Structure 1
């Protein structure tokens, strides 16, 4: 379980661009919320909002595929990570400072929350889910890896991404029953 700086940046840019429902899976808006801006003039010469949505979805797909590689950070001022995506580069250029500040603050808050969980044993529920599944099956778990990326989302839920990843609201673990409802089926699949 961890968060991901590049994904935080991507979600900020998605929300500031007003790309509601973009991406696969389509995650809820971030929390705290980000005010959307109109980018029609900014992206008009490079394909407009349709191109912006397509380019963001390509970038998001790369981030999902490459996690936990945090080397996907945006590099201003040219943003070579977004090469061939001129609409997205323009939005990134316009909002880079705010996106960086927001994502760093969210990463800091996540660190504090993770430390508190470690101290209080809040993450123990994952081990319990695996142990319960082993008892049901009457055998030890197969070797498996479950990668959980926690991001600050308005909707308290998790999204499964095959073969072994979950994107999860960073406060989902606060409600262990809801957490269990999303994570237990994935553990059953992997164990």
Structure 2
């Protein structure tokens, strides 16, 4: 986790274990374009499987999509907490989402291993950025904006959730969250094109 801040403002960059698991489940179940915002696929790619037989008697694919989208919304609102609790093997917190519960039971072990590997990679990426000074870009953007407007920053917090997504872009979630590909910071101009407008809005 990286923090950047000044008087009255704070920006946090981190990844999210629960969201990694949720997106693994989305891709494994072939729920393309599910959820708001509709994020691109994970990298490395998760192979989709046919879950028709597994979820046929609990509403099928449309029920699974609805249940997954409700879960995703809870994760976005609750970040960085894991809401609801994922507790195998019963996943009792998902009692009202029977299709999602079955898919979670089928994939949780693989999803957890995959998510742990990505978190390890993210920790290495953070260390690399710290050493190269790449993480200073955010603070510089805020400072530049403050010079431009000629006043102190309004109080704000911004949370940037980095995920291993195939598309090098960011998605702004009002009022104070950005989801972005963890490759984006390595492309400063592209990073700036997505994040600068948000900084200008908040500062």
TM score, norm. by length of structure 2? 0.92
Distance apart, 1:5 and its partner CA: 0.3
Whole-Å separation in 2 of the counterparts to 1:70 and 1:183: 26
1:124-143 alignment runs, 5 A limit:
124-143=136-155
Over the residues paired in the alignment, what is the CA RMSD in angstroms? 1.0
| Aligned match of 1:186 | 198
| Structure 2: runs of 5+ lacking an equivalent | 1-12
Q: 1:99 aligns with which of 68, 87, 111?
A: 111
Q: Is the 8 A contact 1:77 1:93 kept in 2?
A: yes
Matches of 1:69 and 1:179 in 2, distance apart? 26
Unaligned runs of 5+ in 1: none
Which residue pairs with 1:3 in the alignment?
Answer: 15
Q: In structure 2, do the counterparts of structure 1 residues 28 and 44 end up closer, same or farther at CA, with 3 Å as the change threshold?
A: same
SS at match of 2:175: coil
Q: Verify the 8 A CA contact 1:15 1:29 in the aligned structure 2.
A: yes
Quote the residue 2:63 is aligned against. 51
The count of corresponding residues between Structure 1 and Structure 2 is: 191
Query: Residues 75 and 83 of structure 2 are in contact (CA less than 8 Å); yes or no, is this contact kept in structure 1?
Result: no
Where do residues 1-191 of structure 1 align in structure 2 (5 Å cutoff)? 1-70=13-82, 72=84, 74-191=86-203
Per-residue Cα deviation, 1:112-159 (whole angstroms, up to 9, x for no partner): 101111122111110011011101111111111110000000000000
Match of 2:152, SS state, is coil
CA apart distance, 1:80: 2.5
